[in-house]
Amino acid sequence: MLHWKTSESLMRLRPQIRLRANNNTWEQRERAELSKGLIQVENLRPLTEYEFQMKTCALLSGQTHTSTPSFKTSQRCLCSQWSSSVRKTSPGKGPSQQLHVWRTLTEETKHGLRNVTVFWKVFP
């Protein structure tokens, strides 16, 4: 999940994201916008460091706008430059079957504390 904030109205802005892993070439990705400011990126490799960048584009809907130094025009939309990079490691792959987990508790101490030990069965 990528979360972004802006002071602009989100109604006209369309986010675009790109990412790369291990300093490979940038890959622009389709994204699923779950809600305003929250984007889901799918099909990431587990436990891989990714570098993310984002830009936003505003649809001009036939209006004429002049470019400013921080924006460029591109086919009926006005886009920002790519953001600075953010590096994050993707989560690990979850188990493919239900875990067998159990716990043990020690006797309560005089301070009311207990030690908890959690065990799980290793997959074959």
Taking only the tens place, the pLDDT of each residue in 21-61 is 987 899 998 777 767 778 888 888 889 999 999 988 887 76
Report the alpha-carbon distance of residue 89 to residue 94 in Å, rounded. Answer: 15
Instruction: Using the predicted structure, report yes or no on whether residue 84 has a pLDDT greater than 80.
Output: yes
16 pairs with which residues across the strands? Answer: 55
Instruction: State the Rg of the chain over Cα.
Output: 23
Report the alpha-carbon distance of residue 98 to residue 72 in Å, rounded. Answer: 51
Higher-scoring residue by pLDDT: 41, 96 = 41
User: Quick one: residue 15, left, alpha or beta (phi over 0 = left, psi -120 to 50 = alpha)?
Assistant: beta
Report the alpha-carbon distance of residue 113 to residue 104 in Å, rounded. Answer: 14
Query: How many C-beta atoms surround the C-beta of residue 63 within 10 A?
Result: 9
